[in-house]
Amino acid sequence: MKLTKLLRTSTFQLALVYMTLFASSVFILLGFIYWATAGYMARQTDETIQAEIQGLAEQYQRQGREGLISVIQERIKKDLDDSSVYLFISRTGEYQFGNLQAWPSEVESDEGWINFMLEPPVVADRSGPHHLARGRVFRVEGGMRLLVGRDVHDLMAVQELVSRALTWGMGITIALAFVGGLLMSRSTMRRIESINQTSREIMKGDLSRRIPTRGSGDDFDQLAENLNAMLDQIEVLMEGVRHVSNNIAHDLRTPLTRLRNRLETMQNHIDEPIRQQESVAQALVEADRILQTFNALLRIARIESGGFQRPTDKVSLKELVDDAVELYEALAQDKHQELRADVRHDVQIPGDRDLLFQALANLLDNAIKYTPEHGCIRVWLDRGAQARLVVSDTGVGVPSEERGKVFERFYRVGKDRSTLGNGLGLSLVKAVVELHRGRVWLEENDPGLRVILELPYS
């Protein structure tokens, strides 16, 4: 697995988004901690200095210069940890009093807060690292100035500690999120890779391959199961296509051979217009038969492949049955058969009128074809949980073991390829019924055959 590929996975990108969100939260939290600790201490220091200046100002007002100096002296003495700094200078900048030796160069203005370093020449004898101080200038009458400040070394140390903790915390957070993201995406990617692997094998031609599942029922398992179900369906369809194309080859060879023979006859009898005309007519009949077979195949294929929208118009099945029976009655009478409709209720279903009529016509056609003279054909229409349409005949019937197969394209009962028809009639019926989300099956009529169609009302 290449790292760049890993970084491009959606899981990793999602992890990255989470990482950003999480890091921002951590940053805000640490910022608050910083504000509440180091910030608090800094504010505390500033307030102390402010208060001190306030006190010294009052002292000066009451007791003048001498009083001020004595108070400062006192404070320096009391300040055991050596954290307060004072420097009192004259108008010309000469040292008057305080624990600093010289006016720090950083202090240029008399306004606002100033940070300055405690290093020579400001302090004479501080060894070790130079500390930072923070302070304010207090102006005394007559141009004298007093610098009051505090060594903020400890404060700085705390601030630094907190900010270092903050930086590290952020760093660790980001690193952990990154690693976590990588790990998460790796496991996801491994499963996707197994799907990809299987797909590639299938594309190479091994359609029997299936995607492994972990059995945990998680979303990847569900995806794998769906894909596997899809592959099963594709395999069945592929098998069907193979079967059909074999049958097409077989079934069309006969009429094509006949067509060829007619044309040959025509060629041989080019001087006999009467025989030639005969042959042309017969050749046309053969060509039409081939075309009809192709049209029927295409039609079934289109219905099955969802090329049709699911019909929504209301169709009266009673009207359909009446019309179909009326159309085929003449044909049945020619064979001295009785064709009767038994319609108790009108049943309406959403459907495609022409396709349903085609299906019914195919059933009647078969019934008339396979029922001997003086037989009886009946069409029932009834209402139940679903609309129920039954066509029964007293013909030769279909052996029970073949009843499921008759709906396959080109299937003919008893392997009889010589009889009329193209072997597609019932396939079309099934396709039409399934387009209407219904069911079709065969039953024994004793004697004869019964075809049952169940079509839902919505």
> What order of strands is seen across the sheet that includes strand 84-89?
95-98, 84-89, 145-151, 131-139, 114-118
Window 425-444: residues binding another protein (CB under 8 A): 425
Please report how close the Cβ of residue 267 comes to another protein at its closest, in angstroms. 20
Strand segments, DSSP code E, in 15-113 are 84-89, 95-98
Figure out which of the listed residues 175, 257, 291, 346 binds another protein, where binding follows CB under 8 A.
291
Among 65, 275, 318, 353, binds another protein (CB under 8 A): 353
Residue 410, sorted as left (phi over 0), alpha (psi -120 to 50) or beta, turns out to be: left
Position 369 contacts another protein (CB under 8 A): yes
Nearer to another protein, 224 or 453 (CB): 453
**Which residues, in sequence order, are CB contacts of 91 under 8 Å at separation 6+?**
142, 143, 144
149 in Cβ contact with 143 (< 8 Å)? no
User: What is the smallest separation between the CB atom of 331 and another protein, expressed in angstroms?
Assistant: 5
Near another protein by CB under 8 A: residue from 251, 286, 352, 454: 352
Helix (H) or strand (E) holding 381: strand 376-383
Q: Please choose, out of 38-46, 84-92, 203-211, 350-358, the segment that lies near another protein by the rule CB under 8 A.
A: 350-358
Looking at 25-33, 116-124, 219-227, 347-355, which segment touches another protein (CB under 8 A)?
Answer: 347-355
Compute the distance between CA of residue 297 and CA of residue 292 in angstroms, rounded to an integer. Answer: 9
CA–CA distance, 66 with 19 (Å, rounded to integer) = 64
Give the span between the Cα atoms of 87 and 102, in whole angstroms: 8
Nearest distance from residue 269's CB to another protein, in Å?
A: 18
CB-nearer residue toward another protein: 191 or 262: 262
Residue with smaller CB distance to another protein, 88 or 357: 357
Question: CB of 133 within 8 A of CB of 117?
Answer: yes
Of 46-54, 227-235, 252-260, 299-307, the segment contacting another protein by CB under 8 A is: 299-307
Minimal distance, residue 257 CB to another protein, in Å: 20
Question: Among 160, 201, 235, 334, which residue sits at the site for another protein (rule: CB under 8 A)?
Answer: 334
Q: Whose Cβ is closer to another protein: residue 96's or residue 254's?
A: 254
What would the DSSP string read from start to end of 176-189? HHHHHHHHHHHHHH
338 binds another protein (CB under 8 A): no
Total binding residues for another protein by CB under 8 A? Answer: 34
Residue 105: which region, alpha, beta or left (left: phi > 0; alpha: psi -120 to 50)? alpha
Residues of this chain that interact with another protein (CB under 8 A) are 281, 284, 288, 291-292, 295-296, 299, 302, 307-309, 323, 326-328, 330-331, 334, 352-355, 357-358, 361-362, 365, 368-369, 420-422, 425
